[in-house]
Structure 1
Amino acid sequence: MAIRHETELYAPLKVFFEQQGYVIKGEVRTCDLVGVKENEEQPLIVEMKKSFNLALLLQGVERLRLSPTVYLAVERVRDKKGAVNQRWGELSGLCRRLGLGLITVTFYKTKPPVVEVLVLPDETLPLQRSGGRRRERLLLEFRERSGDYNTGGSTGVKLVTAYREKALRVALALQAAEVEAQLSALRQQSGVAADPTTPAEAGVVGRAAERRVGRTATPTSGTAGAAKPAGISPAELRKRSGVPNAALMLQHNYYGWFSRVTRGRYILTTAGAAALIEYAAIAETSAARGER
């Protein structure tokens, strides 16, 4: 059964390597699949294509700068028409000469895919010195992500990077601070003592704010007669979110989630509130990890 997209290779490969003790994440700094195993310094890298071609081979050779454990993965088509896909002996020999691993995935209509390792990477080859910094950045990006939210082999889609996760944490902290400020203002107007906001209370108001997205000018617009929030400081957001470079994220505003209302004071934009709804599970998971 021929696949339509190379992303279909990701799930069976992820399961295969997880069974070997790897933690797997997709689309890490342009690598389709990256795995890290405890007590192993070098990462696992897998590049995927629907069929074996020169582009895949060159991609694999380039990845050898980052790690000696590099596999090329392609579908194994059972149909005998695909001649180039049937020359596994020759392709295996080529990969073996280059130090690359080779994996095939065979898909069936009525049973799970079968992953077969034809060639193991030659991990005795010395690493190229020029790849040291790139390997460090790859591993840093891997560690900074709270989970695997991307499908390897994806193109033309928004990826959940470590930077996006941190921006979501800052946005979540900003939303919570605005909710607390609104509740405090409402208490003062009604003459109720301004006790600390409970998580449950903040959650109720936060969900109400989510339902208002798209119907208000900004998610921080208060109710009639309520004092308009003056914004939240970067120092407060850095403390709440646990993101050290929160101030730079607010200033650069790469995603358009934040708006400066006055010097050193920020509010959440409608786009930011919408992002927190779109990436709700990721934002909560990332925030929980940041608190540990």
Structure 2
Amino acid sequence: MQETSLYMPVKRFLESLEFTVKGEVGGCDVVGLRDGEPPVVVICELKLQFNLELVLQGVDRAASCDEVWLAARMSARGKGREHDRRFRALCRRLGFGLLGVGSAGNVELLLSPAALPPRRDPRRRSRLVDEHQRRRGDPVVGGGSRTPIMTAYRQDALACAAAMVDGPKRPRDLKTISPRAANILLHNVYGWFARAERGVYALTDVGRAALQRWPQPAP
């Protein structure tokens, strides 16, 4: 059993609270945004068991969001940390919400997050919101860490690559696909592009292989 198995139940629960939820955003297992100005930001970290490491992850995330939730599997015998009053008291003092995920995928609200004094890091919060809003759809299941994360930047680079399958392009040709196309081609983070001539870029074999791994809709 993997932490990714918790993602969809938790996603559905947060969506029922009117959050738009995406996985693996800015190093966080689950990030939800709810409309507002500024938007309400919630982070949920996933573990197979409630433990200290999960709490420490929540402490690290707290400066980036408005609410922190911790989610883990409910213990089969009812003797897990979720039933430990000391564990709940610690999370209550930290202002964290607790979610228990049952074997059938049901989610039990164990503890609601408390409204604590502001403790935000505006720069971290801003980066998180920007990545969440730029990302197309929800391409990554939260809780996984062994595969490349489909970031908004990678999505834009793939869109540019797909548009170059039929031949080399100039950055301005791709501007409608991604506003940062010029930056993507210039810095060539993934090695997908090569300069064919001054101001013109072509797709490399590595780029074509990336499109086979992550097929894109026709531009």
Match of 1:167, SS state, is helix
Letter in structure 2 aligned against 1:120: S
Match of 1:32 in 2: 29
Summarize the alignment of residues 95-110 of structure 1 with structure 2, pairs less than 5 Å apart: 95-107=91-103
C-alpha distance after superposition, 1:180-213 (max 9, x if no partner): xxxxxxxxxxxxxxxxxxxxxxxxxxxxxxxxxx
Summarize the alignment of residues 171-186 of structure 1 with structure 2, pairs less than 5 Å apart: 171-176=161-166, 178=167
CA RMSD, Structure 1 to Structure 2 (Å): 1.8
Q: 2-side partners of 1:69 and 1:86: how far apart?
A: 19
Q: 2-side partners of 1:250 and 1:91: how far apart?
A: 50
Letter in structure 2 aligned against 1:276: L
| Bigger RCO (CA 8 Å, 6+ sep) | 2
Q: 1-side partners of 2:113 and 2:15: how far apart?
A: 18
Match of 1:224 in 2: none
Q: Does 1:284 align with 2:217?
A: yes
Match of 1:127, SS state, is coil
Summarize the alignment of residues 1-292 of structure 1 with structure 2, pairs less than 5 Å apart: 4-39=1-36, 41-79=39-77, 83-85=79-81, 87-107=83-103, 112-123=104-115, 125-129=116-120, 131-176=121-166, 178=167, 231-239=168-176, 241=177, 243-280=178-215, 283-284=216-217
Query: Radius of gyration: which is bigger?
Result: 1
For the 8 Å contact 2:45–2:71, the answer to whether it is kept is yes
For the 8 Å contact 1:68–1:122, the answer to whether it is kept is no
Structure 1 position 38, deviation (Å): 2.3
Q: 2-side partners of 1:167 and 1:249: how far apart?
A: 6
Match of 2:23, SS state, is strand
Q: 2-side partners of 1:152 and 1:86: how far apart?
A: 21
Q: 2-side partners of 1:136 and 1:12: how far apart?
A: 27
Match of 1:244, SS state, is coil
Match of 1:46, SS state, is strand
Match of 2:217, SS state, is helix
Which has the larger share of strand? 2
Structure 1 position 86, deviation (Å): 5.5
Q: 2-side partners of 1:86 and 1:20: how far apart?
A: 22
Structure 1 position 5, deviation (Å): 1.3
Structure 1 position 20, deviation (Å): 2.4
For the 8 Å contact 1:67–1:127, the answer to whether it is kept is no
C-alpha distance after superposition, 1:39-83 (max 9, x if no partner): 372211101111122211111112111123111111111225xx4
Match of 1:175, SS state, is coil
Structure 1 position 84, deviation (Å): 4.3
For the 8 Å contact 2:74–2:80, the answer to whether it is kept is no
- The percentage of aligned residue pairs carrying the same residue is 41
Q: 2-side partners of 1:251 and 1:238: how far apart?
A: 14
Alignment coverage as a number of residue pairs: 218
Match of 1:197 in 2: none
For the 8 Å contact 1:234–1:246, the answer to whether it is kept is yes
Tell me the TM-score normalised to structure 2 length.
Answer: 0.92
Which has the larger share of helix? 1
Tell me the TM-score normalised to structure 1 length.
Answer: 0.70
Q: 1-side partners of 2:70 and 2:154: how far apart?
A: 29
